[in-house]
Structure 1
């Protein structure tokens, strides 16, 4: 009798495009500028993307374009949180606070935000989007990222 194995990874075949953005803007300002320049309707989700095991949360904006079968997500890659210092100097213990920076995608620590475009029909033109992003004066740079080569691509499932 033949034995058949089914691998769970075979079922997950979500095709999406990923664009990295470097900028110093707050998340709501960037979402507003993206809505203006790309003609989107990004809105902040009621709950942030919460990574329980990292104890970090990342802001996320979403727009589901039903007519074109495209879901747009703007997600922050940086979470800054304040923690107690873990070291003591000499005889006295200090209670200093340290700001710790956690990244959603650790391979790209310098990236501030990611745009995730989940399109079923594959009708989104990445070059046109990148050109429009480069025309926004507050964005330093933007480029495409291959999501299949990411070690932490599971963090982008939402």
Structure 2
């Protein structure tokens, strides 16, 4: 009996995108505005946020498609804070309504990062150093750095389509 061997190296090619982590304390819309201004792009908020865990955690997302360079830019929040009221214990003398704040991260490996800038490009993208330099020149940004996507365990969370 003949043995057939299938080689699937080219089929499951890694996604080609650049991921830049941004640490700052400003709101997402202000950061999108500053990135638009300093990078010459046009990020626009998507009508629906990213929804994980059936609404337990949602992350704001901004998007822009550059048709000239065939590039898609996404600015996504890494932190989602939700408030919950615990179920009241009927046996207590006083009813206390405490709010519990839970924090969820889109990429748990980088809990200190506030936002990620994902740049999808099928071609070789060579502007990473320029983009990182422009982001670091924004006064409200504390720090920004490239993230090696191959080292992330939760890189499936970066699939937005």
Same fold (TM over 0.5): yes
- Give the 5 Å matches for 1:1-158: 1-2=2-3, 4=5, 11=12, 13-53=14-54, 55-85=56-86, 91-92=92-93, 94-158=96-160
Q: Compute the displacement of 1:75 (Å).
A: 0.2
Unmatched 5+ stretches in structure 2: none
**Deviation sequence 1:43-70 (CA, Å, 0-9, x none):** 0011111113572110000101011011
Residue 119 to residue 97, structure 1, CA distance change in 2 (3 Å): same
Secondary structure, in 3 states, of the residue corresponding to 2:109? Answer: helix
C-alpha root-mean-square deviation of aligned residues, in Å? 2.4
Secondary structure, in 3 states, of the residue corresponding to 2:18? Answer: strand
Question: 1 or 2, which has the higher helix percentage?
Answer: 1
Moved over 3 A (4+): 3-7, 85-88, 90-94
Tell me the distance in 1 between the aligned counterparts of 2:137 and 2:45. Answer: 23
Secondary structure, in 3 states, of the residue corresponding to 1:154? Answer: helix
Secondary structure, in 3 states, of the residue corresponding to 1:107? Answer: coil
Larger radius of gyration: 2
Q: Compute the displacement of 1:5 (Å).
A: 6.1
Unmatched 5+ stretches in structure 1: none
Secondary structure, in 3 states, of the residue corresponding to 2:112? Answer: coil
Q: Compute the displacement of 1:6 (Å).
A: 7.6
Secondary structure, in 3 states, of the residue corresponding to 1:21? Answer: strand
What count of residue pairs does the alignment treat as equivalent? 157
